[in-house]
Amino acid sequence: MYAGHVADRATRRTIAIGGTFALLLSAVALLLLTITPGAIGASRVWPVYVVVALSATARSFMRPAVFALSAEVLPRELYPNGVAWRSSTWHLAAVAGPAAGGLLYGFSGPALAYGAVIAAMTIGLAVLASLAHRTRPAVVDEIPISESLKSGIRFVTGEQVLLAAMTLDLFAVLFGGAVALLPAFAKLLNTGPEGLGILRAAPAIGSIVTGIVIAHRAPMRRAGFALFTSVAGFGVCIIAFALSREFWLSFALLVCSGVLDNVSVVIRSTLLQTRTPTHLLGRVAAVNQIFIGSSNEIGAFESGLAARLLGVVPSVVFGGCMTLIVVAITAWRAPRLRRLRDLNDAPSGVA
């Protein structure tokens, strides 16, 4: 939350550069720990935890700033396309990054893998530094920090469309987290580590393709209907995946789940940019990041706990059914989101 406050008070480009530089330093530190004899070992791993904690702190400052910065540099009518491209590139990196890291580690050891991370972070830092945009957010509400931190939450809770969209995503991922149980399903499907890797990549493949398609299409004209339909379809895919015993059918269902998930991501992220005043973008982005982190991390915990209590397959079927129930309840309780058409339609008073 404090990172969101800072992103609304300082130059967002500067925060993004600072956060990326801190991540670069973290990669350098991990490389040094790896190549220095005795720096880490079976009984001495705390330096790694320190570096990871510091890098997570830097990332928490960088994300709200980058999100708000993207809304500053893009024309409003291009928000959906920009979100689609950003989502696609992120999912592409989520697939290619671990794959490349695993190959580098396997063939040449951890030092080369960390060296590649340093090179990639350096390129990212150079790209951010080349950005000419340097507008400082206009401070329109000189209030104490404690009130500033609360203002992002108050805005989200007072904006039915945003709150409903974020809540829908939160509980859909919370209950539909089949990805956390993929190792168990790999065993059920009688596949090895290679098959598990393919299954893990499947949702990202669907997301990448969908993002590219959305980026080249005209803006959505029935955004609310598309959001509810995509999340409901995601729940159906998760249920069908749990019941499937054919590897390639399971793979196809996970690809479809990635397709539908990215539709909801694009809609939600675009709504955050179009319906949030510029001076609140950092704080609202921080609230959204908490929603995303909660749904992913707590969802993985929920999946494991449910699998322990109900069994692997029944727990995923239960999660998919709960996703459908959440869609029905949200559609009933949030008629404004259900009737939403153009994503670029901002409420009165939002610049």
Average pLDDT for residues 211-223, to the nearest whole number? 76
Higher pLDDT residue, 245 or 214?
Answer: 245
* pLDDT the model gives residue 238: 93
Torsional class of 328: left (φ above 0), alpha (ψ -120 to 50), beta (otherwise): alpha
Higher pLDDT residue, 188 or 347?
Answer: 188
Q: Widest CA span of the chain, in angstroms?
A: 62
Asked whether residue 234 carries a pLDDT value surpassing 80, the answer given is yes
Asked whether residue 27 carries a pLDDT value surpassing 70, the answer given is yes
* pLDDT the model gives residue 214: 79
Which of the following CATH numbers is that of domain 2-131+144-338: 3.40.50.300, 1.10.1660.10, 1.20.1250.20, 3.40.50.720?
1.20.1250.20
Asked whether residue 314 carries a pLDDT value surpassing 50, the answer given is yes
Render pLDDT for 271-281 as a digit per residue (tens, 0 to 9): 888 888 888 88
* pLDDT the model gives residue 118: 94
Render pLDDT for 176-199 as a digit per residue (tens, 0 to 9): 777 788 889 989 999 877 788 888
Per-residue pLDDT band for 342 (boundaries 50, 70, 90) equals confident
Asked whether residue 348 carries a pLDDT value surpassing 50, the answer given is no
How far is 237 from 252, CA to CA, in rounded Å?
Answer: 9
The position carrying tokens 């671990």 is 98
17 to 68, 228, 284: CA distances (angstroms):
14, 36, 20
- Cα dihedral angle (55, 59, 61, 65), rounded to 10 degrees? 150
* pLDDT the model gives residue 283: 85
* pLDDT the model gives residue 251: 94
106 to 112, 119, 142, 311: CA distances (angstroms):
10, 19, 53, 34
Across the chain, mean pLDDT equals 84
Q: Where are the domains of the chain?
A: 2-131+144-338
> Helices (DSSP H) in 159-280: which residue ranges?
160-175, 182-188, 193-215, 223-243, 247-275
- Model pTM score: 0.76
Q: Percent of the chain having pLDDT more than 90? A: 28
CB atoms inside a 10 Å sphere around CB 32: 14
